């Protein structure tokens, strides 16, 4: 639904003449306790579409509207309905239908109500809303959708009765249309509220409408009394006795009368352009939290920035000193000028002096020549499994272009199209066709396989979350007919036209031995530890993202400005962390920085996935194997995308940093 909303230009003001029909669309039902959604007309206990045309609609009820890919992926199934709304015409009560349902339908309906499922209708691109007011009654706000029913626990009976909502009071709020349309007598819709109610069989007229829908009527329990005689005969030889309403084979049914009322109310308190503000309930309250998140992110990034500046100034000063005094070549010290007249001597303390002319080296000078400079002949040695690193960085680069935009990256010079294919050759690749296939199929292929497997589980649940077969075919066509050929063409052009990037230092034929590393540099330890810092930048904003994504599906995430700022700070922080980690690794005389920089950049994805596990355990109330499988699968996929993005940022940052600091330490 959000995608459909965003498709409309902001300048449009859909307006209606008096007595003009307004279409009411039905979409789906969803719950905060499960990831399974269902199309509204797939429910066996609601009024099915009759196929009749209403008003000036060219389609009969039950017609499916064309949806974009984003809406389909969200599980939307928008269809026309038999509800009749006419601009400014109030309807006290109108019967829709009387639906006869069997035990199986009743059992499913009871379970849906227990799980807190909410129905979503649409009028004028606005979702049906349940209206609330704050405790002090100073502010009104909306919650998208309305509940299918409710559960009333009876302490006397020791069980809960489940009631279904079968009457809907629809309130459409409007005001005079702005501009020329308003002068012509047209109006715009500001709000679409639905107040559901459960009304029993008593006190109804011949059409099925209650005599007074606003009175304290009896409620309609979603329950079929079991036929004890048939049940006893059927299960006489079994120790199993069905619970109340559970037997679905005795042919018993119940009738559910559905009615609705319509009221139009003028509201001049808000403008049409601000009609979505009522859905953003925490806009004012959460602004301070968002600003605190930005301040927290800036503080962390600022501290890291100071550290990077210190490292940068230290390396620049060291390379400048190297140009004045001499540089390293194959692990030996070149001569440097000295004011001492003594030659070919050792100091009285046994400290090695420069060969030829010699004052003893200071501690800072020994650190300069015993750290990262010693790796000038090994730092650009090709990493292990470079054939996998190149496709990963390539996939991450593609995602980076999609996320940030080709124009921004090109203007900043982070990636230059003229270097297309250069990275692969730099990593020693020769079989460009194999690399192209891996790049084009690695992430998209794994993603499609995961979605296809998940779809099998969702299909089994008859959920609208399952992608239709036609959509799957369309996704495969986009992948095989668009993405793969473009990747192949770009790889061929880049491989033929581009040259490998030239490293500033030569690589020796024999690799040097790496000293024993500290524990925080060994294996995965350093990667996991460095990931905590970018996670600390992001985790406050993750609270809002997770709440809207997993908990409050009826809400809408609207603070994209805050998220963009935090994401920008995150990229800067990832770059800073990678520079610091890479520099410390080089100072420890470990030249295996290629994979390490990629893993360091993407390491915060580990903590985000751990946060997903914590959120699932302590914040969510998801039940069922399929819903849990969907949660963890989608969380893993999102973390994988995030890891590819930030891993690519880390790798490119480390590569640029190493090229810069070793550019002044060239071997002759």
pLDDT in tens, 342-388: 444 443 333 434 444 445 545 555 454 456 777 766 677 777 777 77
Q: Out of 112-116, 451-455, 508-512, 544-548, which region has the weakest mean confidence (pLDDT)?
A: 508-512
Average pLDDT over residues 10-26: 81
**Chain center to CA of 342:** 69
Q: How far apart are CA 136 and CA 478, in angstroms?
A: 53
Q: How high does pLDDT run on average in the chain?
A: 77
pLDDT confidence of residue 665? 59
d(CA 50, CA 46): 12
Q: Where are the domains of the chain?
A: 88-227+248-282, 286-321+517-667, 384-502
* Highest-confidence segment of 98-102, 317-321, 517-521, 549-553: 98-102
DSSP string, 410-472: HHHTSS-GGGTTHHHHHTT---HHHHHHHHHHHHHHHHHHHHHHHHHHHHHTT-TTSPPHHHH
| Pairing status of strand 328-329 against strand 332-333 | antiparallel
* Rounded percentage of the chain residues whose pLDDT exceeds 90: 24
Name the strand (E) or helix (H) holding 318: helix 283-325
pLDDT tens-digit map of 325-336: 444 444 444 444
pLDDT band at 497 (very low <50, low <70, confident <90, very high): low
Which long-range contacts link 156-165 to residues 24+ away (Cβ below 8 Å)? 161/221, 161/223, 162/110, 162/113, 162/114, 162/221, 162/222, 162/223, 163/198, 163/219, 163/220, 163/221, 163/222, 164/45, 164/109, 164/113, 164/198, 164/220, 164/221, 164/222, 164/256, 165/196, 165/197, 165/198
Note whether 103 and 247 are within 8 A (CB). Answer: yes
- Residue 277 pLDDT exceeds 70: yes
The predicted model gives 387-408 an average pLDDT of 70
Going by pLDDT thresholds of 50, 70 and 90, the confidence category of residue 197 is very high
Residue 140 phi/psi, 5-degree rounding, is -105, 145
Let me know: does 128 contact 122? Beta carbons within 8 Å.
yes
Question: Which of the pair, 317 or 390, is modelled with greater confidence?
Answer: 390
Dist. CA 477–CA 263, nearest whole Å: 47
Gyration radius (Cα) of the chain, Å: 34
pLDDT digits (tens, 9 = 90+) for 224-261: 887 665 555 555 554 444 554 455 456 789 999 999 99
Q: Distance between the two ends of the chain, CA-based, in angstroms?
A: 64
Written as one string, the DSSP assignment of 368-401 is: HHHTGGGGTTTTTSPPTTHHHHHHHHHHHHHHHH
pLDDT band at 568 (very low <50, low <70, confident <90, very high): confident
3-state secondary structure at position 86: strand
Q: Which of 291, 300, 292 is nearest to 576 (CA)?
A: 300
Percent of the chain with pLDDT over 70: 74
Give, to the nearest 10 degrees, the angle between helix 604-618 and helix 525-546: 50
Query: Contact, 165 vs 151, CB < 8 A?
Result: no
Q: Look at 449 and 541; give whichever has higher pLDDT.
A: 449
What confidence score (pLDDT) does residue 196 get?
Answer: 95
pLDDT at 164: 95
CA distance 177 to 187: 5
* pLDDT class of 667 with cuts at 50, 70, 90: very low
Higher pLDDT, 67 or 280: 67
Q: Does the pLDDT of residue 73 top 90, yes or no?
A: no
Please check the confidence at residue 82 and state whether its pLDDT lies above 80: yes
């Amino acid at each position: 639904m959000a995608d459909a909303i965003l498709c409309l230009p902001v300048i449009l003001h859909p307006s209606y003449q008096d007595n003009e029909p307004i279409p009411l669309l039905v979409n789906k039902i969803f719950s905060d306790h499960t990831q399974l959604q269902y199309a509204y007309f797939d429910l066996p206990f609601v009024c099915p579409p009759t196929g009749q045309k209403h008003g000036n609609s060219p389609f009969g009820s039950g017609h499916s509207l064309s949806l974009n890919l984003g809406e389909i992926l969200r599980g939307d199934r928008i269809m026309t309905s038999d509800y009749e709304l006419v601009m400014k015409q109030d309807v006290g009560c109108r019967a829709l239908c009387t639906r006869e349902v069997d035990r199986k339908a009743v059992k499913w309906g009871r379970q849906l109500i227990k799980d807190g499922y909410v129905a979503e209708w649409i009028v004028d691109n606005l979702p049906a809303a349940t209206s609330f007011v704050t405790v002090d009654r100073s502010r009104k706000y909306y919650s998208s959708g309305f509940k299918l029913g409710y559960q009333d626990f009876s302490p006397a009976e020791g069980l809960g009765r489940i009631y279904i909502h079968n009457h809907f009071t629809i309130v459409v709020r409007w005001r005079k249309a702005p501009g020329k349309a308003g002068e012509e007598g047209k109006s715009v819709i500001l709000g679409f509220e639905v107040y559901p109610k459960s009304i029993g069989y008593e006190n109804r007229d011949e059409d099925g409408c209650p005599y007074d829908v606003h009175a304290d009527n009896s409620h309609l329990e979603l329950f079929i009394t079991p036929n004890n005689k048939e049940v006893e005969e059927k299960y006489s030889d079994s120790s199993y006795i069905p619970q109340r309403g559970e037997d679905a084979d005795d042919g018993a049914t119940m009738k559910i009368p559905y009615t609705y009322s319509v009221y139009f109310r003028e509201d001049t308190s808000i403008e049409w352009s601000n009609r979505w503000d009522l859905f953003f309930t925490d806009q004012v309250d959460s602004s301070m939290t968002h600003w605190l998140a930005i301040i927290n992110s800036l503080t962390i990034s600022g501290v890291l920035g100071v550290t990077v500046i210190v490292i940068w100034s230290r390396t620049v000063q060291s390379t400048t000193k190297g140009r004045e005094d001499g540089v390293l070549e194959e692990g030996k010290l070149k001569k440097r000028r000295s004011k001492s007249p003594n030659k070919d001597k050792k100091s009285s303390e046994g400290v090695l002096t420069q060969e030829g002319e010699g004052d003893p080296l200071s501690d800072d000078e020994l650190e300069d020549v015993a750290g990262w400079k010693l790796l000038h002949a090994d730092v650009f040695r090709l990493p292990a499994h470079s054939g996998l690193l190149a496709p990963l960085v390539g996939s991450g680069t593609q995602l980076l272009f999609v996320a940030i935009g080709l124009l921004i990256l090109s203007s900043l010079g982070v990636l230059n199209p003229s270097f297309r294919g250069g990275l692969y050759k730099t990593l020693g690749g020769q079989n460009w066709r194999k690399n192209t296939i891996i790049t084009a199929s690695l992430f998209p292929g794994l993603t499609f396989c995961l979605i296809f497997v998940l779809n099998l589980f969702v299909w089994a649940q008859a959920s609208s979350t399952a992608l239709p077969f036609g959509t799957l075919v369309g996704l495969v066509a986009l992948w095989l007919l668009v993405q793969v050929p473009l990747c192949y063409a770009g790889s061929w052009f880049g491989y033929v036209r581009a040259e490998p990037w030239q490293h500033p230092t030569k690589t020796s034929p024999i690799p040097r031995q790496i000293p024993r590393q500290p524990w925080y540099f060994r294996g995965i330890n350093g990667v996991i530890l460095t990931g905590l810092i970018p996670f600390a930048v992001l985790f406050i904003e993750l609270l809002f993202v997770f709440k809207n994504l997993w908990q409050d599906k009826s809400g809408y995430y609207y603070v994209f400005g805050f998220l963009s700022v935090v994401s920008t700070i995150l990229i800067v922080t990832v770059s800073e962390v990678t520079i610091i980690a890479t520099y410390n690794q080089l100072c420890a005389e470990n030249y295996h920085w290629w994979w390490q920089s990629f893993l360091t950049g993407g390491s915060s994805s580990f903590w985000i996935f751990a946060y997903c596990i914590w959120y699932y355990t302590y914040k969510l109330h998801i039940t069922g194997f399929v819903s849990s499988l969907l949660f963890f699968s989608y969380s893993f996929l999102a973390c994988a995308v995030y890891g590819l993005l930030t891993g690519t940022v880390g790798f490119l940052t480390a590569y640029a940093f190493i090229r810069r600091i070793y550019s002044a330490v060239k071997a002759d």
